[in-house]
Structure 1
Amino acid sequence: MITGSRGDASPEAEPRLPRPPGVLRRFWARHPVLADIAIAGFCLLLSVAPVIALPDRAVADDRIDPQTWDRIWPVLASVVVLGSFALLVRRRNPVGVFAITVLVAAAYLFSPVSLGGPLVGIATYTVAVYRSNRVCLIAVGAGLSLLVVVAGALGFSGVIAPDIAWNVLIGEALLMLIGGLIGANVGGRKRYVEALIAHSRRLLVERDQQAQLAAAAERERIARELHDIVAHSLTVMVALAEGVAASKDAAHARPGAEAISATGREALRDMRATLGVLRDADAAPLAPLVRDTTAETVASARAAGFETHLTVVGEPDVPTATRLAVSRIVQEGVTNVLRHARAATRIDVDIRYADEGVSVSVVDDGLSASIPSAAGGFGLQGVRERVELAGGTVTAGPGEQRGWTVRAWLPREEQE
C-alpha cells in the first residue's frame, strides 16, 4: 500500500487512489472462473430463450415457411449457444471471443423476426478491460463494418427484410457502445491500480538496493577509519616500545613510555568516536574524526627515532574533507615507513596549498624495494578511495634514488 502525508506533497504529486472494492466485487475478483460461468449462463438464457420461442412467432406471422425454418433454426440456435459458451474464455482471448459474438450478431440477420442478445456487449466490455481502449475501438470498428457489409448485401439481394437489418445493426451498435464505455472506465481503473502496484514494488526494490549500497559504503568508510587509527597507533606504539626495551637508562626510556601512553589514549579516543557513530543513528558519519592529525603524526615519528621534517607551504583554507584526506595521506605514508622501510632514518613530509589544489608527498631514505606489501595493502587502498572521492590522484612507488614515495594531489574544491 502506498501512503503519504497530504501536508508534505502537492495534490499534483499525490497518486489518486481509487476507492477500495466492495464485498461483492472482492468476491467475484477472488473467483473469476465462477464469475465467467455465471455470466455465460446468464447470457445463454437471454440469448437462447428468444430463439426457442421464435418458430411460433415466425410461422404465425407468415414470415417464413415452416420447412425452411426447420433448417435454419438448429443452425441459429447452435451459433447462439457457441457464442454463449465462448464467454468462458473471454479473459484469456478477448478479441477472439468478440469475433465469435460478431458472427452471432451476423446470424441474427437470417432470423425472420428481430432477435438480439447481450453477447456482443459483454465481449466489447471484455476487450476494453483486458486489452486496451485502442484495441477495443479497432475491434468495434471492424465488427460494425462486417455487420454493415453483410446486412447491406442481404438486404439489397432481398434475402432479408430491411427492418431486420436495421434492427440488428442498431441493436448491436448500441450494445457495443455501452459495453465499450463501461469497459473503458473499468479497464482504465484496473490499469491504474496495476501501475500503482508495480510502481510501489519498484520503490520497495530501489529502497532495499539503496539501503544495501549505503550500508556497504558506510562499512568501507568505517573500515578506512579503523585501519587508519589502529595501524598507525599500534605501529607507533610498537616502535616506541622497542626503543624503550632497548634502552637501559630509565631516564631516557621515560619519554618513550609517556609517548606510548599518549598514543594509546589518542587511539582509544578516536576508536570510541568511531564506534559512537555506529551506535548513534543521529550522528553524522565519522563527524567526530574530522580533525587534522598531521602534526601528531610527525611528532610520533620523531618520538620513534626518525628524523622527520614537515614542510607546509600556503594557507590550509580548504574544505574539511580535504584536510582530513591530507592528514590521512601523511598518516598512512609515515605508518608504512615505520612498519616496512628498512634502513630508513629520515622522513620528509611536504604539503603545498595552491590555488588549484593541494599536493602531498611523503618520502623516506630507506631501501627502494623495502615496502612491496604496502603498495597493495588496505592502507593505501583506503587512501586511494579517499583521494578519488575528493576528485584527486595518488601514486606510490620507489623513489628516484632511495626510499619509498607517496604522492597525492587533491582539488581545492570538493567534487559533487
Structure 2
Amino acid sequence: MARLHLYLVDAAAALVIGFLVGYGVLERRDWPWWVVVVCAASVAVPIAVRRFWPLNALTITLAATVAAVMLRVLPTVALGAPVAAVCFMLYSAAADRSPSWSVPALLVSVVAISGVSGGEPENVLVVTAALVAVWVIGYTTRQRRSFLAREAAQQAERALSDERLRIARELHDVVAHNLSLIAVQAANAAHVRSPDHAYEALEVISSTSRAALTEMRGLLGVLRSDADLAPSPGLSGLASLADRASLAGVRVSLDVRGDPAVPEGVGLSVYRIVQEALTNVVKHAAPASCTAVVEVSSESVRVEVTDDGPGVRELGVGHGLIGMRERVAMYGGTFSAGPGPSGGFRVVAEVPIR
C-alpha cells in the first residue's frame, strides 16, 4: 500500500505538470491540440515512471524540454513546469543510482536547462541552485538508506551470533549434565559385583542417553525452520533433574517455593543453573547429599544449591560456573559459588523477572 501511494503521488504530479506545460504552450500561440498533448506528455509522463527508470525518464524529459523550447512550442518564460519535472527525476537518479551515474546526469541537466533558459546569469544561477539542491537531497537519501541497510545487516549478524552462543551454551549444559550421569553409572557398572546393580546402571545409562538425545534434537531443531519443537524446559522439569541426579548417587532434596509460572527465558535459565549445579555435585562430590531450593517471587527467582561434599572445586576450570554466571548476568542478577559456611559447596543465583 505504501508503494501504491507513492505511485499515485507521482501520477498526480505528472498530471499537474502536464497541465501547466500545456497551458504554457497555449498561452502565447494557438497550437493544434495534438502538439499540446505531445509536448505536455513528453515532459510530464516520465514522472510517473521515474521510480523504475530514473535516468531514462530524465533523458526523455530533458530532450522534450530542449526540443519544445528550440522549436518555439514552449516559451522560455514557461520553463518552471519542465524544471520541476527535471527535479523529480534528478532526485530519483541521485537516490537510486550511484554517483557515477547521477553526477553526470546533474551536469547534463544543468547545461541543458541553462542553455534554453535564455542565458541570463540570474536564470542560470537559479536553475543551477535548484538542480544541485535537489541532487544533494537525493544523494543524502541514498546515504541514509545505505546506512540503515548496513545497520540492519549488522543487527542480523549480531542476532545470529547471539543465537549461536545460546545454542552452544545449551549444548554444553545438556551434554555435560547427561554425560556426567552416564560416566558415573558406567563406572558403577564396571566395578559392581552384582549383575542386578550392573543392569540397573545400564538402565540409567539408557534412559539418560535417550533424554539427552531428545533435548539435543529439540535444541538443534531451532536451526531448522520446519522443526516441530518441544517447549523449552523450565521449573516443571526440575523434579526429573533431581531424579536423574539421585540415580547417579547424589541424594537430592528439591524444594520449589512460589508460583512456577515464570517467563520462558527465566525458567530456562533457572533450569540450566540447577542442572549445571547438580552436574558439578555428581562430578565432584558424589556420593553426597544435595539440597536445591528455588524461591519464586514477583520480582525474581532465587536458586540455592548446596551439598555436603568436600567443598573444594577448581573454579577456573571448565565452563559450567562460567555459563551459570553468564546466564544470571544476562538478566542483571547476582551469582556466587564457593565453599559453604558449614562445609560442602554452595551455589546461589538470583534471576530478576523483568
Normalised by the length of structure 2, the TM-score is: 0.65
Q: Secondary structure at the match of 1:348?
A: strand
Which runs of structure 2 are paired with 1:11-90 in the superposition (5 Å)?
20-22=54-56
- Alignment counterpart, residue 148 of structure 2, candidates 200, 203, 206: 203
CA gap 1:204/1:219 in 2 versus in 1, 3 angstroms: same
Structure 1, residues 134-181: CA drift from partner, whole Å, max 9, x if none? xxxxxxxxxxxxxxxxxxxxxxxxxxxxxxxxxxxxxxxx93320122
Gaps of 5+ in 1: 27-124, 130-173
Counterpart Cα distance in 2 of 1:265 and 1:394: 31
Could you list the per-position Cα deviations for residues 321-354 of structure 1 after superposition, in whole angstroms to 9, with x for gaps in the alignment? 222221111100010111233x751111111122
Q: TM-score w.r.t. structure 1 length? A: 0.56
Distance 2:301 2:214 in 1: 28
Counterpart in 1 of 2:290? 347
CA distance in 2, matches of 1:234, 1:401: 30
Indicate the residue corresponding to 1:365 in structure 2.
Answer: 308
Secondary structure of 2:259's aligned partner: coil
Q: 2-side partners of 1:186 and 1:5: how far apart?
A: 27
1:9 Cα offset (Å): 9.2
The 1:337–1:9 alpha-carbon spacing in structure 2 relative to 1, beyond 3 Å, is farther
Aligned to 1:397: 338
Counterpart amino acid of residue 339 in structure 1: K
Matched with 2:3 is 6
- Letter paired with 1:349: A
Determine whether 1:184 maps to 2:149.
Answer: no
Amino acid of the residue matched to residue 222 of structure 2? V
Change (3 A) 1:24 1:255: closer
- Corresponding position of 2:186: 241
Distance 1:344 1:372, change over 3 A: farther
1:408 paired to 2:352: no
Structure of higher CA gyration radius: 1
| 1:381 shift after superposition | 2.2
Q: 1:365 to 1:24 in 2, by over 3 A?
A: closer
How far is the alpha carbon of 1:312 from its aligned partner?
Answer: 2.0
Match of 1:317 in 2: 261
Shift of 1:215: 1.3
Percent identity between the aligned chains? 38
Q: Is the 8 A contact 2:233 2:271 kept in 1?
A: no
Query: Contact 1:368–1:401 at 8 Å: present in 2 too?
Result: no
> How many angstroms does 1:194 deviate by?
1.1
Structure 2: how far apart are the matches of 1:398 and 1:11?
Answer: 73
Q: Structure 1 residue 290: deviation in Å? A: 3.6
Residue 299 of structure 1, CA deviation: 0.8
Tell me how far 1:11 sits from its aligned partner: 9.2
Conserved 8 A contact 2:288-2:308 = yes
Which digits, 9 at most, give the CA deviation of each residue in 1:231-271, with x for residues without a partner?
00100111111112222111222222111111000001111
Pairing of 1:235-384 with structure 2 (within 5 A): 235-280=180-225, 288-291=231-234, 292-341=236-285, 345-369=288-312, 371-373=313-315, 377-384=318-325
**Alpha carbons of structure 1 residues 24 and 290: separation in structure 2 relative to 1, 3 Å:** same
Give the distance between the partners of 2:271 and 2:257, measured in 1 at CA. Answer: 15
Do the aligned partners of residues 290 and 251 (structure 1) sit closer, same or farther apart at CA in structure 2, a change above 3 Å counting? closer
The DSSP-based 3-state class of the residue aligned with 1:362 is strand
- Provide the aligned C-alpha RMSD in A: 3.4
State the alpha-carbon separation in 2 of the partners of residues 223 and 365 from structure 1: 31
Alpha carbons of structure 1 residues 379 and 195: separation in structure 2 relative to 1, 3 Å: same
Q: 1:24 to 1:294 in 2, by over 3 A?
A: closer
Q: Structure 2 matches for 1:144-159, cutoff 5 A?
A: none
* Post-superposition offset of 1:200: 2.6
Aligned-partner SS, 1:21: helix
- For the 8 Å contact 2:232–2:264, the answer to whether it is kept is no
Aligned-pair distance for 1:283? 6.1
Partners of 2:247 and 2:6 in 1: CA distance? 60
Residue type of the partner of 1:392?
G
The Cα shift of 1:376 comes to 5.5
**Residue-pair matches, total:** 261
**Structure 2 gap ranges (5+):** 10-46, 61-105, 111-118
Equivalent residue of 1:6, what SS? Answer: helix
Distance 1:354 1:184, change over 3 A: same
Q: Deviations over 1:172-210 (max 9, x none)?
A: xx9332012211221122112211221232123212211
Which runs of structure 2 are paired with 1:75-224 in the superposition (5 Å)?
175-224=120-169
Aligned equivalents of 2:7 and 2:156: distance in 1?
27
212-221 or 194-203: bigger deviation: 194-203
Shift in alpha-carbon separation, 1:290–1:300, aligned structure 2, 3 A: closer
Output one character per residue of 1:71-127: Cα deviation in whole Å (capped at 9) or x when no partner.
xxxxxxxxxxxxxxxxxxxxxxxxxxxxxxxxxxxxxxxxxxxxxxxxxxxxxx99x
Q: Deviations over 1:371-410 (max 9, x none)?
A: 114x563222222222222332211112113222111112
